[in-house]
Amino acid sequence: MDFELKTLTLHQAAGLAADALILLWSDRAGQTSAGPGDPLTLWARGAVADKDIESAVGSCLLAHRLPGVQPRRLALVRTGEGSGASIRKAVTAAMKALAGDAVKRLVLVAGDAEAAAVSAAVQAVAETSYRYVATKSQAKPRVLQKVVVGVADAAAVRQAFDQGVAVAHGVELAREWANRPGNHATPTMLAQAARQLGKLPGMSVEVLGPKEVAKLGMGAFMAVAQGSSEPLRFIVLKYQGAAKSSAPVVLVGKGITFDTGGISLKPAPEMDEMKFDMGGAASVLGTFAALAKLRPALNVVGLIPTCENMPDGRAVKPGDVVTSMSGQTIEVLNTDAEGRLILCDALTYAQRFKPRALIDVATLTGACVIALGGVRAGLFANRDDLAQHLFEAGEAALDPCWRMPLDDEYAEGLKSHFADMGNVAGRQAGAVTAAKFLEKFVGDHAWAHLDIAGVAWKGGASKGATGRPVPLLLRYLLDEADRLALQLRPTPKAVGAKPVRKR
Ligand code: BES
Ligand code: MN
Ligand code: ZN
């Protein structure tokens, strides 16, 4: 799918050859839209004035073959005050209203929309037109091929538009890989996908197998993988956008391609959803795909420990003690708490990069789903500024998270009689105790953990991966590149200055 940004009046947009036109109508559009004599503007104003369209955000009025309008179908949609969130809701509603139609070419008129709103509009079009087809023999792939976004001043929103297109691309890659069933998204296949990304400019990829991982001493990671006949992979992605000496942000994504629970077997209902247990890994891949498009001046490393968690004659058993790469021993009291076991060795490995920030992303605990549901991801951090930056990135990207505590008292339950720690604490505060476990492997580094168990996929009627938190991660990395640029500025004038980039 191809997006194009153009400076267009409504009159010009109406003259384009396309199958459908979406006209975003904010509460101020009635006064400010150019071209008082243009028939489409008059039509829309009339519909609003006559209350033939409700004022609520997302309300739609469909029209068919309006005189003077080239696209056969037209959707007028209300966007309220025009915030990013409202635009997303409105565009999603308009896309649903137009669905069923064979819309190959779409014109989306955003008029005087602000930069953040243009980015949100692009992402909403991409999100609603995505179709999962990889393992369906009859399904039609996405129909939509071309989207022209018309605005009053293309130059003013160009950067936000480019970022929206890049995020949409990254989200889609993450959704696609997370949606694929366990037998179509094995650790080996994920590594292949990473290798493809490694061919893009600025990127490199290295894939370690069982031998190399054993040599590194990743005993916790190996313990999880040992019950499966699929060999584990440890994927190392690198994006270089700054000087070689510049400390990278390291992203770590949980890549359990299927989580049966192991010997601590999960119950059957909804176990299929555990194919999404590599959502963290998928979001790291998606973020790298977006980085390749935007090329920010920052170094980023992506680490993906990936394997299956299976019960087997050779599987790790409750009570087994394993030695992590850090040297710390772990009593595996519950084999279903496997995410932390693969992440802890990746976090130890990450230290060699002396990261400016170390961020892991994982579908880690059912407890986080209970705490925060599907709205906000759980955010844990050992530095206030890092927590604040990630929180703000989530707000700006409409991909929100919420900070959770890390008091040392929460680590009490991890004590073990037979090892340096157990891999589970009690039932209480399960998302926090999981984070406390991870914290034991990050040394003094600035570290954050995003528990995305509630937000990485949806169940029920709209079952499928969401691509979250690619928008949050990318927003954070772009902001981090700005902060780095400010630090590198030679004059002390930088104090108190704000980055010039618009959102
Ligand atoms: N992948 C699951 C977490 C999960 C559960 C995500 C449900 C989304 C929905 C993880 O590996 C797991 O099984 N965690 C256990 C930990 C427990 C044994 C301490 C859990 O949350 O039940
Ligand atoms: Mn599990
Ligand atoms: Zn899991």
Does residue 129 sit in the same domain as residue 242?
no
Instruction: Provide the CATH number for the domain around residue 471.
Output: 3.40.630.10
What pairing do the DSSP bridges indicate for beta strands 20-25 and 60-64?
unpaired
The average confidence (pLDDT) of the chain is 95
Q: Across-strand partners of 23?
A: 76, 109
Structural domain contains residue 275: yes
CA-based nearest residue to 439, from 322, 358, 372: 358
Given a cut of 60, is residue 33 above it in pLDDT?
no
Give, in order, the Cα–Cα distances in Å from 191 to each of 58, 184, 233, 235, 311. Answer: 40, 12, 7, 6, 23
Active-site residue flag, 340: yes
Q: Give the per-residue pLDDT at 102.
A: 82
Span 73-99, average pLDDT? 96
Does residue 100 sit in the same domain as residue 227?
no
Instruction: Determine the structural domain holding residue 445 and report its residue range.
Output: 180-483
pLDDT tens-digit series, residues 426-446: 999 999 999 999 999 999 999
Q: How many C-beta atoms surround the C-beta of residue 179 within 10 A?
A: 22
What pairing do the DSSP bridges indicate for beta strands 20-25 and 255-259?
unpaired
Q: Tally the domains of the chain.
A: 2
Span 228-246, average pLDDT? 98
* Most ligand 1 atoms within 8 A of CB, residue of 306, 307, 338, 365 to mutate: 365
Structural domain contains residue 166: no
pLDDT tens-digit series, residues 175-226: 999 999 999 999 999 999 999 999 999 999 999 999 999 999 999 999 999 9
Instruction: Provide the CATH number for the domain around residue 9.
Output: 3.40.220.10
How far is residue 98's CA from residue 92's CA, in Å, rounded to a whole number? 10
Q: Give the per-residue pLDDT at 246.
A: 98
Span 119-132, average pLDDT? 97
Q: Give the per-residue pLDDT at 31.
A: 57
Contact 294, 166 (CB under 8 A): yes
What pairing do the DSSP bridges indicate for beta strands 249-253 and 146-151?
unpaired
Of 95, 119, 154, which residue sits at a domain end?
Answer: 154
How far is residue 120's CA from residue 139's CA, in Å, rounded to a whole number? 28
For tokens 């010997």, what's the residue? 263
What the block records as the tokens of 285 is: 């891949």
For tokens 């949609």, what's the residue? 77
User: What residues line ligand 1, using a CB cutoff of 6 Å?
Assistant: 259, 277, 334, 336-339, 363-367, 369, 424, 430, 453
Span 269-275, average pLDDT? 97
E-only strand ranges, 87-223: 105-111, 146-151, 203-208
Q: Give the per-residue pLDDT at 376.
A: 99
Contact 203, 197 (CB under 8 A): yes
Structural domain contains residue 159: no
Does residue 202 sit in the same domain as residue 128?
no
Does residue 255 sit in the same domain as residue 348?
yes
Gyration radius from the chain CA atoms:
24
Measured in degrees and rounded to the nearest 5, phi and psi for residue 25 equal -125, 100
Structural domain contains residue 281: yes
Does residue 252 sit in the same domain as residue 372?
yes
Share of the chain above pLDDT 70, in %: 96
Task: Determine which residue's CA is closest to atom 9 belonging to ligand 1.
Answer: 366
Q: How many C-beta atoms surround the C-beta of residue 37 within 10 A?
A: 7
Q: Give the per-residue pLDDT at 499.
A: 60
- 3-state secondary structure (DSSP) of residue 24: strand
Give, in order, the Cα–Cα distances in Å from 294 to each of 202, 350, 481. Answer: 11, 24, 11
Q: Give the per-residue pLDDT at 177.
A: 99
Structural domain contains residue 175: no
Atom of ligand 1 nearest to the CA of 456: 8
Span 242-259, average pLDDT? 98
Judged by average pLDDT, the poorest of 93-107, 237-251, 259-273, 372-386 is: 93-107
Contact 379, 399 (CB under 8 A): no
Q: How many C-beta atoms surround the C-beta of residue 17 within 10 A?
A: 9
Given a cut of 60, is residue 65 above it in pLDDT?
yes
Of 85, 120, 154, which residue sits at a domain end?
Answer: 154
CA–centroid distance, 319 to ligand 3, in Å, is 18
Given a cut of 70, is residue 500 above it in pLDDT?
no
Structural domain contains residue 235: yes
Structural domain contains residue 502: no
Residue, of 193 and 111, whose pLDDT is higher: 193
Span 100-128, average pLDDT? 93
Task: Determine which residue's CA is closest to atom 22 belonging to ligand 1.
Answer: 366
Q: Give the per-residue pLDDT at 12.
A: 95
Contact 292, 239 (CB under 8 A): yes
- At residue 314 the predicted structure's pLDDT band, cuts being 50, 70 and 90, is very high
Does residue 286 sit in the same domain as residue 320?
yes
CA-based nearest residue to 397, from 8, 85, 33, 41: 85
CA–centroid distance, 271 to ligand 1, in Å, is 11
Given a cut of 70, is residue 497 above it in pLDDT?
no
Does residue 210 sit in the same domain as residue 147?
no
Q: Give the per-residue pLDDT at 492.
A: 63
Q: Give the per-residue pLDDT at 137.
A: 96
Q: Give the per-residue pLDDT at 503.
A: 52
Q: Give the per-residue pLDDT at 450.
A: 99
Q: Give the per-residue pLDDT at 98.
A: 93
Does residue 83 sit in the same domain as residue 217?
no
How far is residue 483's CA from residue 497's CA, in Å, rounded to a whole number? 10
Structural domain contains residue 489: no
